[in-house]
Chain A
Amino acid sequence: MIDPLQMLVTITVIALATFATRALPFICFGSREPPAILSVIEKNLPPMILLLLVIYCLKDVQWLTAPYGVPELFTICIVAGLHLWKRNAMLSIFTGTALYMVLVQFNIFSFL
């Protein structure tokens, strides 16, 4: 436990460090043009990062012990399939989440 003053200092420091990482590109390239290679990259970054975020969501999955990430992969396939079929974001997201909650709370894949 640290005292309130220390806690406030810590929070301030974390807040500044976080803001610094977010502001960095805007500070660097606020007044001058970013190098050509970066402007080409920046178009391709969002699709790459979004897919990386999907993969990142699987970072804590234990692939080598039961249920071997099956609930996660299964639900992702359902979400993707549903979305490719209906193109309705709300429907895909909520069906997927509800399904996943049922799968893990009732341990549906416990037979694996």
Chain B
Amino acid sequence: MIRDRENERKAGERNEDLFISALKTTIPVLLGYIPLGMAFGFLLVGAGYHWIYAFLMSLFVYAGSGQFLAVAFLAAGAGLTEFVIATLLLNLRHAFYGLSLLEKFSGVGRVKPYLIFALTDETYALLTTTDVPQASSKSRFYFYIAALDHFYWISGSVLGAVLGSMLKINLEGMSFVLTALFVVLTIEQYFSSEARFPFIAALGAGAFSLIIFSPDNMLLASIILGTLILMAREKSMQKAQRTQIVLGARENSQTRKENRLINSAVQPLEDKRKEKS
């Protein structure tokens, strides 16, 4: 009984530590989501809607660029079909995020649906880069990160919507915190992964899409383009490998034939060749 309580207390402490470390991990997102969420809140209220809609959207939609797009569409009086198509296209990049999280998310248990729901750019970036603290639960840590980010976003948008234009803080440039976060995480990826080609692919696809596509489309376009480049390279490398294997096999069979011919006659010579190969 006493030991049970002791264990419980220990587990509670561990969870608290885990929560604090998730809190630390998400601070940059906090500083990015508050001003960004506020901007969204300002916009929605500015378009003539009650602040409760900012809350509902941030709670249930939870997609930065998707919500900004929605405000623009609301202001333009778009129809439902347009909302659906634009949202699908804009957020299709999230499908690629999930693709690289299939393994990570297997075995996280009942929080999985929420983790999938809350998979924003920033949460994705944190989940793929941050290591789970030792001896602690992966699902709990991921859940804390996702839920904290979600909470920041909701708080920001409600704050912005409620305060409206009453506030006169100059937040210009503060959203750069997200750019800085991505720069830092890219560098961390550079150190933690041995692959170099993805960075080259990203530079090529990114620069190309920046020039060719409109700002709204460039992210999805560049991700598709980059993925195609990665796949093409993978295919060509596999092909090269196969060719090598085929060549190797041919060599082997030739060797075997020769062996049969010279089998007993020149044994020492054969041994030497084996050594060489």
Contacts and interface: CB of A to CB of B under 8 A. Distances in A.
Interface string A20-52: 111111100100001001101111111111111
A7 B202 contact: no
Nearest to B211: A63
The 9 A-B pairs of least Cβ separation, nearest first, read A55-B206, A25-B98, A51-B202, A101-B173, A48-B198, A57-B179, A96-B180, A45-B100, A100-B176
A107 to B, nearest CB: 10
A87 to B, nearest CB: 8
A25 B99 contact: yes
Interface of B: 27-28, 31, 48-49, 53, 56-57, 60-63, 66-67, 70, 74, 77, 80, 83-84, 87-88, 91-100, 102-103, 105, 112, 116-117, 119, 121, 124-125, 128-129, 170, 172-174, 176-190, 193, 195, 197-199, 201-203, 205-207, 209-210, 215, 218-219, 222-223, 226-227, 230-231, 234-235
A22 B174 CA distance: 28
12 contacts: A17-B83, A17-B87, A22-B119, A34-B102, A43-B195, A44-B201, A48-B201, A50-B128, A52-B206, A55-B202, A83-B184, A93-B184
A66 interface: no
A27 to B, nearest CB: 9
Interface residues of A, number: 66
B57 A14 contact: yes
Contacts, number: 248
A103 interface: yes
Contacts of A47: 186, 189-190, 193, 195, 198-199, 202
Contacts of A44: 195, 197-198, 201, 230
A55 B203 CA distance: 8
Given A15-B60, A46-B129, A105 B182 contact: no
Contacts of B230: 41, 44-45, 48
A97 B174 contact: yes
B177 A21 contact: no
Contact of B178 (A45, A46, A57, A76): A57
B177 A18 contact: no
A9 to B, nearest CB: 7
Given A21-B88, A50-B189, A89-B28, A34 B182 contact: no
Given A2-B74, A15-B57, A55-B207, 13 more contacts: A18-B94, A25-B96, A45-B96, A47-B198, A50-B128, A52-B222, A56-B219, A72-B179, A80-B183, A80-B187, A83-B183, A96-B176, A101-B174
B173 A103 contact: yes
Nearest to B215: A59
B219 to A, nearest CB: 5
Contacts of A57: 178-179, 182
A18 B195 contact: no
Nearest to B50: A4
A73 B74 CA distance: 34
User: Which among A9, A44, A57 has the highest number of chain B CB atoms within 10 Å?
Assistant: A44
Nearest to A55: B206
A83 B188 CA distance: 9
A9 B95 contact: no
Given A52-B222, A55-B207, A93-B180, A22 B91 contact: yes
A58 B49 CA distance: 30
Contacts of A94: 31, 177
